[in-house]
Structure 1
Amino acid sequence: MEPVIGIGAWDVPVHGLFVGLGVLAAAVVFVAEARRRGAPAEQSLVAVTGALVGGAIGMRLSGWAEHLDPDLNPTLLEAWMFGSRSVLGGLTGAYVGVLVAKRLIGYRERTGDLFAPAVALGMAVGRIGCHLTEAPGRPTDLPWGVHAPAATPACPGCLAGQAMHPSFLYEVAFQLAAFAALWWLRGRITRPGELFTLYVAGYAVFRFLVEFTRANETVWLDLTRPQWFLLPGLLLVALRLRYGYRRGFYDALVPKKEVRT
């Protein structure tokens, strides 16, 4: 049974609470950035509404297509009622919600750069809920290994009392560092869309590496499903970064060397 926290007269699921707080934190940062960049207030409000609606839908339906075999997946109704409440699904839904809202009101400016720091902070908050309710990671002898309650779902190591990698805390630390870096870079990387590109690239690399400490099932060559999903994406990201570097998009970070003739 998922842990709950008492808020007034209600028992609120811990995981769902932090996922909701993560989506809310992302929305607040998005609004702040939209105002800083001079986006009209009405359009920003519509975009945030789209983010909140899309985030709620994505959060609830994130487990609908978890397995390649359709028979193993829940129905849409089951996913809506009993879904995994994934923070990544919530933030993905929020991003799609913004795109839909923009299309409805005819707003054509790019918003990916507004979303980059917003998603980083939202993920940091949401992963706290994952750490408190899910299997932490693979067994480890490192001094910062953590123990989780034996009742934690899908966690044999918890039942055996093993110390495990605090993989979700690794991600919290990464996302907070990414948020700080993106907040610092937002006035230095001026090419539209590149701040979002840098975040996606950084997170893709981090997520591939942190999977070696996660409790996810390995499916082939000791790699998990997310790692196999990320492999082609990492290649595309590398090509995209090379394209941006050669055109000077990141000179504020890594100035290109002049070639003398």
Structure 2
Amino acid sequence: MKFPVYIFGIHPHLLFESLAYFIGFRVYLWTRRKERIPVEKALWIVVGAIFGADIGSKAVYWFENPLKTIYEWNRLTYLLEGKTIVGGLLGGLIGVETAKKIIGWEHSTGDDFVFPLIVGMMIGRVGCFLTGLSDHTYGTPTNWITGVDFGDGIKRHPTQLYEIAFLFLLGIVLLRIRTAPSKMLWEGYLFQLFMLGYLSFRLLIDFIKPTPHPYFYLNNIQLACIAGIVYYVQLMFKKRHQFINSIKETGSLYAE
């Protein structure tokens, strides 16, 4: 296989990123719980998610090499060229919460984004893998049977494929939870589990990525993952406490 793998003359990153956005949005429209939020409010939340994700993905990228970012701060091309999924997720969260405040929506909306995100991220990672070395999402050199030569004669961890496999398994687990007969969940529970699972995976997988690790042997993405994990752990403890109290007071097995 010669990288990048063009498909019908289209660069794989452009093709699969476009498909990720298109199909992910269609999955959102198909799977969202329409009785939980009116469509006009849902679209505003999607807009908030998109803008937040775009800003967050670039902001985290700028901290990959802080000295270079300081040196290139006035070069627009550098500031716009990079992005990260972790930054996109965390920035998207901020964008959604901001949009909810603007439109006056107080209920959680995260559960509706779980499966669109998983599908979109899996599709996007296919494009990252087929792009090869120029995408900078591959892993460190390895002798494992999974090693892939991206064109320079060195076998590396195909971390893009590892991520696709992880997201597939995570999606199955979350789907089983969502469709379980027992509805002992609170609003946002699935999204919180998704974020905890994915951030934990990225925290570990980035140890086998050849990116700078200037922050006490951690890189920029791992720092963002740790911040996100701390946030969601404390949030889930808080929600669990509220959920238990709600059961005691109302006897309901589903907390709003």
TM-score (ref. length: structure 2): 0.71
Contact 2:24 2:117 in 1 (8 A): yes
Instruction: Write the distance in 2 (CA, Å) between the matches of 1:23 and 1:215.
Output: 27
Q: Verify: 1:143 aligned to 2:135, yes or no.
A: no
Bigger relative contact order, structure 1 or 2 (CA pairs below 8 A, ≥6 apart): 2
The one-letter code matched in structure 2 to 1:185 is I
Unaligned runs of 5+ in 2: 245-256
1:215 aligns with 2:210: yes
Q: Which residue of 1 aligns with 2:188?
A: 193
Contact 2:61 2:220 in 1 (8 A): no
Q: Following superposition of structure 1 onto structure 2, how do residues 104-253 of structure 1 map, counting pairs within 5 Å?
A: 104-133=102-131, 134-135=135-136, 136-150=138-152, 161-187=153-179, 188=183, 190-219=185-214, 222-231=217-226, 233-235=228-230, 237-241=232-236
Distance in 1 (alpha carbons) for counterparts of 2:91 and 2:10? 22
Displacement after TM superposition at 1:176 (Å): 1.9
Conserved 8 A contact 1:110-1:192: yes
TM-score by length of 1: 0.70
Shift of 1:119: 2.1
Using the TM superposition, give the Cα deviation of residue 183 of structure 1 relative to its aligned residue in structure 2, in angstroms.
2.5
Q: Which secondary structure state, in structure 1, belongs to the residue aligned with residue 156 of structure 2?
A: coil
Displacement of 1:91 after TM fit? 4.7
> Is 1:116–1:199's contact at 8 Å kept on the other side of the alignment?
yes
Q: What is the identity percentage for the equivalent residue pairs of Structure 1 and Structure 2? A: 30
Instruction: Give the Cα–Cα distance (whole angstroms) in 1 for the partners of residues 210 and 61 of structure 2.
Output: 17
Inter-partner Cα distance in structure 2 for 1:51 and 1:235: 21
Contact 2:186 2:239 in 1 (8 A): no
Contact 1:67 1:73 in 2 (8 A): no
Distance 1:174 1:36, change over 3 A: farther
Once the 2 structures are TM-superposed, how far is the Cα of residue 200 of structure 1 from its aligned partner? 1.5
Provide closer, same or farther for how the CA distance between residues 240 and 59 of structure 1 changes in structure 2, counting only shifts above 3 A.
Answer: closer
2:230 and 2:36 mapped to 1: Cα distance? 35
RMSD of aligned residue pairs (Cα, Å): 3.5
Question: Aligned-pair distance for 1:36?
Answer: 4.3
AA in 2 matched with 1:40: P
Q: Which moved more, 1:183-192 or 1:202-211?
A: 183-192
Q: Separation in 2 of the partners of 1:221 and 1:232?
A: 15
Query: 1:238 and 1:53 mapped to 2: Cα distance?
Result: 25
How far 1:213 sits from its partner (Å)?
2.3
Please tell me whether the aligned partners of residues 211 and 227 of structure 1 are also in contact (alpha carbons under 8 angstroms): yes
Aligned residues, how many?
Answer: 234
- Contiguous gaps of at least 5 residues in structure 1: 151-160, 250-261
User: Which amino acid in 1 is paired with 2:188?
Assistant: G
For 1:231 and 1:62, locate their aligned partners in 2 and report how far apart those are by CA, in whole Å: 13
Higher relative helix content? 2
1:43, distance to aligned residue in structure 2 (A): 1.9
